[in-house]
Structure 1
């Protein structure tokens, strides 16, 4: 009688083998960024030179452009508050995704001006 073979798709440790729904993970607690429980808060992605970059993207949005603000380095709740204020300033929708603020439409000049007024060193990135 043969011994049963192990199914190669089943992990021995009982952990997650593969998942598409988690997204980016916090480097401190290794949980999803939305579920981060760190006392420090989720570290934002800051650019190496300390400049907040405001760019425009259309990739994956069927040609519709969004303005992306990256390099802020704020905790998730502070980032959401700032996003709400910037969306009101632009009169447009948007949200926070992967530590970046995305605002519908092309509002780069207005956002650079507003972030500079608030004390950030902001610059327009991309074409």
Structure 2
């Protein structure tokens, strides 16, 4: 059985990612792109502690849109600020540390 290097618990009981989620400050902004299109930008996520690819896939599926990951920033096509905030809160991010602008 594998053991987590950070907390010392078995990997199936590891709580490192949950602790990181609760203390991470996330910034959600809206960016206007070419041709009048909008993109929702989620910043402040640390790719070393959280699986950004998995989080991005979840957000894209829940918002029914496309998107990408660039330099630890998730970009979603369209205006999804409030929906992203709700999704992040339901998966364990602290609502007080999520800034929507």
- The Cα RMSD (Å) is 2.2
Are 1:76 and 1:99, in contact at CA under 8 Å, matched by a contact in 2?
Answer: no
- TM-score, with length taken from structure 1: 0.54
Separation in 2, partners of 1:68, 1:76: 19
Deviation at 1:62, TM superposition (A): 3.2
Hey, what does 2:41 align to over in structure 1? 68
- TM-score, with length taken from structure 2: 0.66
Deviation at 1:76, TM superposition (A): 9.0
Larger radius of gyration: 1
Using a 3 Å threshold, how does the CA distance of structure 1 residues 106 and 117 change in structure 2: closer, same or farther?
A: same
Separation in 2, partners of 1:78, 1:68: 17
Structure 1 alignment gaps of length 5 or more: 1-48
Separation in 2, partners of 1:124, 1:77: 19
Hey, what does 1:85 align to over in structure 2? 58
Aligned residue for 2:51, secondary structure, equals helix
Structure 2 alignment gaps of length 5 or more: 1-22
1:125 aligns with 2:90: no
Q: Which structure is richer in relative contact order (CA contacts within 8 A, separation 6 or more)?
A: 2
Separation in 1, partners of 2:49, 2:37: 26
Separation in 1, partners of 2:76, 2:49: 16
Are 1:108 and 1:124, in contact at CA under 8 Å, matched by a contact in 2?
Answer: no
Structure 1 runs (4+) deviating above 3 angstroms are none
